[in-house]
Amino acid sequence: MTRLHRRPLARPALTRPALGVLTLVLCAACSWGGGPTRADRSPHTPRTSADPGPPPPPPTSVLPSSPGAAPSTSTAPPSRRPTRRPSASPRPAGFPDARTTGPRVPLTPHRTGDMTVKTDGTVIRGWDITGSLDIYANDVTIIDSRITSTNWWGVNLRPGYHGLRVLHSTVTAIPGKGPDNGGEDYAVSNMGTSSVEVGWCDISVFGNALSMGQGHIHDNYVHDLVPFRNAGGEWQHTDAVISGGGNKGSLIIRHNTLLNPVAVDRGASASIGLFADTGHVSNTVIDGNLLAGGAYSLYGGGNGATGITVTNNVFSTRYHRNAGGYGAVAAWNADGSGNVWRGNRLSDGTPITPEPDR
């Protein structure tokens, strides 16, 4: 997504690929194989970096096709739940962290590689997945699982499908192993026009952790985003949550910890970035979150943004004294119909009043 309206004058020039039209992959209900082509795997237009694609892993397990089905036919022993690391510095109490997010059960290893899911109602529970999930199905649930991806995404919902839920899971990646010149772009990506729920998840490493124009994002811990350069040598933007605008449904972002520790000169964009890349931003609720980092911690949608309510958020100074490198908030359209700014403050209690969008 090429961002045109959010860079302060002091920022270095950064680029983002635009959304493209994708060819759907014809495959079995759950196929490992060699994976889709590079253009089909990316939720955006093809990148210029090399992408050899992962080798096909052996089909050692079978996805359950309905709730309550056995999680796997694999005989591999359950893996231990990942050790939770304490935060490098204290955060205000009551917000999600490593103790309140991620899987709640022992996990069973599954080296799926980049896997496609095409069976409606699929439930993945208790899996420790080495690979990614590309969803061409309705009402898919990933719960109490861990995904370690080296693909463009961890979980991706394709256009025309609905009902994806990612709950109580860890979604992470391996720095330097992704297809975007070593980077991985999206932990959970919603390419369609339906709502995606992401809740109680521990998310790290990806450049843009949660990418969607409509959905329900709640009670997540997003942290340790990893910057990377694209094939042209430019730093890619990083955002804990990113929306490109033009959405028809609503986007609710409530009670999350959204941390962007990336330095501004290495591509930091926002903790929450509402950008009018593909149309006006609208119908968005941002309530009760802990935000920190980015060039600005919040980009508010800019001119034309309507129906944006930003209430009761804490803007932490753990990375920058004004929450973001240049400040707490930018691109706030105070005159937009239905836009509300109320009860937002720095972590020391200082109220935040946005400057007029220019």
Per-residue pLDDT tens listing for the chain (358 residues): 333 333 332 333 333 333 333 333 323 334 333 333 333 333 333 222 223 333 333 333 334 433 333 333 333 344 444 434 434 445 677 999 999 999 999 999 999 999 999 999 999 999 999 999 999 999 999 999 999 999 999 999 999 999 999 999 999 999 999 999 999 999 999 998 899 999 999 999 999 999 999 999 999 999 999 999 988 899 999 999 999 998 889 999 999 999 999 999 999 999 999 999 989 999 999 999 999 999 999 999 999 999 999 999 999 999 999 999 999 999 999 999 999 999 999 999 999 999 876 6
Instruction: Provide the token pair at 119.
Output: 């069976």
Helix (H, G, I), strand (E, B) or coil at 38: helix
* 3-state SS class at 92: coil
- Who's near 171: CB < 8 A, 6+ residues apart? 146, 147, 149, 154, 155, 187, 188, 201, 202, 203, 206
Give dist(CA 239, CA 208) in Å, integer: 5
Name the nearest CA neighbour of 100 among 172, 216, 242, 200: 200
Token pair listed for 285? 């609720």
User: Which residue from 214, 216, 227, 324 is spatially nearest to 270, judged by alpha carbons?
Assistant: 324
Cα–Cα dist 212/195, whole Å: 9
Q: In sequence order, what are the beta bridge partners of 257?
A: 221, 290
Q: Are 180 and 49 in contact (CB under 8 A)?
A: yes
Nearest Cα to 334, choosing from 352, 314, 316, 313?
352
* C-alpha–C-alpha distance, residues 54 and 299, integer Å: 36
* SS3 annotation, 306-329: EEEEEECCEECCCCCCCCCCCEEE
The per-residue pLDDT for 52 is 31
Helix (H, G, I), strand (E, B) or coil at 93: coil
Q: What is the pLDDT of residue 38?
A: 30
Rounded Cα distance between 199 and 202, Å, is 9
Exposure letters 260-275 (e unless 16+ CB within 10 A, then b): bbbebeebbbbbbbbb
Q: Which two tokens stand for residue 34?
A: 């060699």
pLDDT given for residue 247 in this prediction:
83
**Residue 213 has which token pair?**
């124009």
- What pLDDT is attached to residue 130? 98
Which tokens go with 104?
């709640």
